[in-house]
A and B are shown apart, each in its own frame.
Chain A
Amino acid sequence: MQESSGNSDPKKIIIIGGGPAGLTAAYQLHKLDKKAIVIEKDEVVGGISRTVNYKNYLFDIGGHRFFTKIKAANDMWKEVLSDDMLHRSRLSRIYYNNKFFYYPLRPLNALSGLGLWNSSMILISYLYSHIFPYKDEETFEQWVSNRFGKRLYNTFFKTYTEKVWGIPCSEIRAEWAAQRIKGLSLLSAIRNALIKQNQEQKGKAVIKTLIDSFDYPKFGPGMMWQAVADIVQGNGSQVRLGADVETILWDRESRKVEAIEIRANGRQELVSGTDFISSMPVRELIQKFKPSVPDEVLKAANNLNYRDFLTVALIVNKPELFPDNWIYIHDPRVRLGRAQNFKNWSSHMVPDQNKTCVGLEYFCFEGDDLWNMPDRDLIELGKKEMEKLGLLKASDVEDGSVVRMPKAYPAYDSKYREMLDIIRRFLDGVANLQVVGRNGMHRYNNQDHSMLTAMLAVENIYGAEHDLWNVNVEQEYHEERKEEITEAPEELIPDSAIIRAFSRMDKLGFATALGTVSGLLIFMATLWLVIKGGEVVGPNLRLLSQYFIGYSVTVKGAFIGMGYSFMWGFLFGWLFAYLRNVSLAFYIYRVKKKTELLSFSDFLDHF
């Protein structure tokens, strides 16, 4: 066994995984002028964000748009790629019931595609779900139905979600849907509504949504991660490709990882380090601990599941096929989940502009019939299904390639939360090991969140105390960027101000206060005239007796008037406070529902 060590720095940092998270960690260390060893199992970097090159036709493992609200991630993309980043307009549609629907939905297109009857039924179903929602929101089906209505759920969510996950929606945890929609905290929604209202009043455009456009590297996302790998290697870090981690050697007493055993080029090596960052699937990580982890933890890890994924890339002898970047295929007659047209992401993805390269995405489980199907059969299946959908002619396809991507999606099934909690408790106790990224944390992190976890992990090595598990939970995230606003929205309207402004008014308190002051005013007004005296005392104020029976401009009348006035002031104050509370509650409800409904416009993008 050969031993290799990191560098002369007292800290020897080992990063397991050369995907966005692992390479971001290495890049952050490079910026601190520190070196690391990145261990990557595959022969290419980028993980699921790699770009595959097949005969100079480039394709992604799924489409990877570059957009984020996390400044640090955006800065890194710009630093690394600068001029090689393209800004692209987005066009995507849903194929459902032999029709194409623009996604995000466009009202007229949706109306004509669904028909008047179906659209009306969707509206009725939406209203019904708000009047009679599911009381428990345990499953994806309940969560989506409560927000969008059962009929819309059946139309646009059910078949596609079941294709993605391979299990009925009634078995998918609601938490998965909830996590997909970030930035929908009620306070953020109210803040955004207030800012938008304020800016609109000033005639300014506020929110430019990145749902309609995105950045994309000229040669695909793999370009980004290859560039990062080159940069860190240029600084003396190592990126070891084709190196499979076989064992995590740890000391139970000190609760520290001491080294990892890897197999590269058929040889086993021991790589020791002082700090470890892992983005490998957490299930595998736990299984590789030596000595073994407690039974309960191992059992929990074994219970974590994943959804796998394969892409069939077809090279088509046609300059144009369809205008979309991608199409969601909801049609249950085909197994195809999503069709990507990479030439529409970047024209640099195809070497010959007279040809097109499409990526057909099939969601599967490692070892199932799709996964095990020979490449040739998969290419035939893809051709047949695309022809069935009317998207291409099989005879135009001149070549194809297949890429299988195991563990593409951490599964949020019914037991994952409990299992992950057990694992997390164990990992929290291992002092020098941090898990980052999507599979590393078994969390549906997108590229930017994975990057952020890695950045924070590096800071933790140098003394910070970030809780990485809070990334993507606390982080505001939805596909919007306030480009016209220089200050952060939180600085414009802090949470405390919203809470103060929208707090409930005490009806009894306000009624009593208003009643008391009204009563005192009438009392003093009456008494003043009585004290002033005269031949006829207060002939005009006396007219109040038309309403306040028994009232007169006398000392006794002053008390009677005070009583009446208190009563009316009290009633008016109570009513005012009540109406104020009701209207604010209605405003909050409206903002909440509107935000939830708007989330439909990018819901599918998170799959």
Chain B
Amino acid sequence: MAKANSKDEEKLFSGILRLNAKVMGLIMGLLLGLVIFIATNWLVIKGGHIDPSGKYVVGPHLRLLSQYFIGYRVSFLGSIIGFGYGFAIGTLSGALIGWIYNKIVDFRN
């Protein structure tokens, strides 16, 4: 067993993890998309408040995302738009992380 185990340990510990860039991108895209979708809808469900100028305001801080995500607002429709943006950015970032990681692993080994 000692021999078999040391062989197994060698197999386990000599290998370096490779990331699947596409899967990594998909996961990060879904995660980021969902985070924005849920965060937006949470504020929508919670409701807003009337500001001193008499305007009904929902999620003034999250709304700042519209600086980057054109068309985004804190509403149900906005949450779907936000999901799309989040998914796109998450996917690109995740895939890029996976790709860079794999390149570095290839370079180092």
CB distance from B7 to the nearest CB of A (A): 8
With A178-B2, A525-B68 in contact, do A502 and B97 touch (Cβ < 8 Å)?
no
Interface digits, B51-95 against A, CB 8 Å rule (1 contact, 0 not)?
A: 000000000010010011000000000000000000001000100
Which residues of chain A come closer than 8 Å to B104, judged between CB atoms? 506, 508-509, 512-513
A34 to B96, CA, bound (A): 65
A499 x B12 contact (CB < 8 A): yes
Report chain B residues within 8 Å CB of A528. Answer: 67-68
Contact check, B17 vs A504: say whether CB atoms are below 8 A apart: yes
Assembled-state Cα–Cα distance A592/B4 (Å): 12
Please give the distance in Å from A273's CB to the nearest CB on chain B: 36
Known contacts A174-B2, A525-B68, A592-B5; is A503 also within 8 Å of B16 by CB? yes
Assess whether A503 is in contact with B17, with CB atoms less than 8 Å apart.
yes
Interface status of A321 (Cβ within 8 A of chain B): no
Give the distance to chain B from A24, nearest Cβ to Cβ, in Å.
26
Contact across chains for A185 and B108 when beta carbons are under 8 A apart: no
The verdict on A514 contacting B15 (CB below 8 Å), with A184-B5, A508-B108 known, is no
Residues of A476-517 whose CB lies within 8 A of B: 495, 498-500, 502-506, 508-510, 512-514, 516-517
Complexed CA–CA distance, A509 and B105 (Å): 6
User: Which chain B residue shows the least CB distance to A177?
Assistant: B1
What residues of A have a CB within 8 angstroms of the CB of B96 in the complex? Answer: 513, 516-517, 520
- Nearest CB to that of A518 among chain B residues? B93
Using CB atoms, name the residue of chain A closest to B9. Answer: A186
By size class, the interface of chain B is 20 to 34
The number of inter-chain residue pairs (CB within 8 angstroms) is: 92
The answer, yes or no, to whether A425 is at the interface (CB within 8 Å) is: no
Residues of the A chain whose Cβ atoms lie less than 8 Å from the Cβ of B13:
504
Give A174 to B98 CA distance when docked, in angstroms. 45
A182 x B105 contact (CB < 8 A): no
Q: Is B15 touching A503 in the complex (CB atoms < 8 A)?
A: yes
Q: Which residue of B lies closest to A516 (CB)?
A: B100
Give the interface SS of chain B, mostly helix, strand, loop or mixed.
helix
Q: Is B42 located at the chain interface by the 8 A CB criterion?
A: no
Q: Which chain B residues border A510 with CB–CB below 8 Å?
A: 97, 101
- Residue in chain A with minimal CB distance to B109: A506
Q: Please tell me if A354 contacts chain B, counting CB pairs below 8 Å.
A: no
A540: Cβ under 8 A from any B Cβ:
yes
Question: Which residues on the B side are within 8 Å of A473 (C-beta)?
Answer: 4
Q: How far is the CB of A3 from chain B (nearest CB, A)?
A: 47
Give the docked Cα–Cα distance between A185 and B15 (Å): 17
Asked whether B15 lies within 8 Å of A504 as measured between CB atoms, the reply is: yes
A513, B2: Cβ atoms closer than 8 Å = no
Kindly name the residue among A509, A516, A538 whose own CB sees the greatest number of chain B CB atoms within 10 A: A509
A178-B1, A185-B5, A532-B67 given; A499·B15 CB < 8 A: yes
Interface digits, B13-38 against A, CB 8 Å rule (1 contact, 0 not)? Answer: 10111100000000000000000000
- CA separation between A178 and B7, bound complex, in Å? 14
Does residue A91 face the partner (Cβ distance < 8 Å to B)? no
Residues 75-119 of A at the B interface (beta carbon under 8 Å): none
B interface footprint on A169-202 (CB within 8 Å = 1, 0 otherwise): 0000010001101101111000000000000000
Q: Is A521 an interface residue (CB 8 A)?
A: yes
What B residues does A508 contact at CB under 8 A? 104, 108
Complex alpha-carbon distance, A87 and B5, angstroms: 34
> Is A184 a contact of B12 with CB atoms below 8 Å?
no
Q: Are A505 and B17 in contact (CB under 8 A)?
A: yes
Interface membership of B11, Cβ < 8 A: yes
| Whole-angstrom CA separation of A143 from B5 in the bound complex | 14
Which of A181, A509, A513, A521 interacts with B1 by CB under 8 Å? A181
Query: Per a CB cutoff under 8 Å, which of A187, A503, A506, A521 touches B93?
Result: A521
Which residues does chain A contribute within 8 Å of B98, judged by CB atoms?
Answer: 513
The answer to whether B108 and A588 touch across the interface, beta carbons within 8 angstroms, is no
Bound Cα distance A512, B12 (Å): 24
The residues of B that contact A514 with a CB separation of less than 8 Å are 97
Instruction: For B89, list chain A residues within 8 Å (CB).
Output: 521
A516-B100, A540-B64 known; A509 vs B108 contact (CB < 8 Å): yes
CB–CB B101/A513 < 8 A: yes
From residue A605, how far is it (CB to closest CB) to chain B in Å?
A: 16
Interface residues of A in 524-560 (CB under 8 A from B): 525, 528-529, 532, 538, 540
> How many angstroms between the C-alpha atoms of A528 and B89 in the bound complex?
14
Kindly list chain B residues whose C-beta atoms are within 8 Å of the C-beta of A179.
1
- Nearest to B98 among chain A residues (CB) is A513
Q: Using CB atoms, name the residue of chain B closest to A504.
A: B16
Q: In whole angstroms, what is the CA distance A538 to B64 when docked?
A: 10
* Cβ-based interface call for A385 (8 A): no
Q: Which residues of B contact A (CB under 8 A)?
A: 1-5, 8-9, 11-13, 15-18, 61, 64, 67-68, 89, 93, 96-102, 104-105, 108
Instruction: List 22 interface pairs A-B (beta carbons < 8 Å), by A numbering.
Output: A179-B1, A182-B1, A185-B4, A185-B8, A499-B12, A500-B15, A500-B17, A502-B15, A504-B15, A504-B16, A506-B104, A509-B104, A512-B101, A512-B104, A513-B101, A514-B97, A516-B96, A516-B100, A517-B96, A517-B100, A521-B89, A588-B12
Q: Which 6 A-B pairs have the closest CB atoms?
A: A503-B15, A186-B8, A509-B104, A513-B100, A513-B101, A178-B1
Which A residues are within 8 Å of any B CB, using their own CB?
A: 137, 143, 174, 178-179, 181-182, 184-187, 473, 495, 498-500, 502-506, 508-510, 512-514, 516-517, 520-521, 525, 528-529, 532, 538, 540, 588, 592
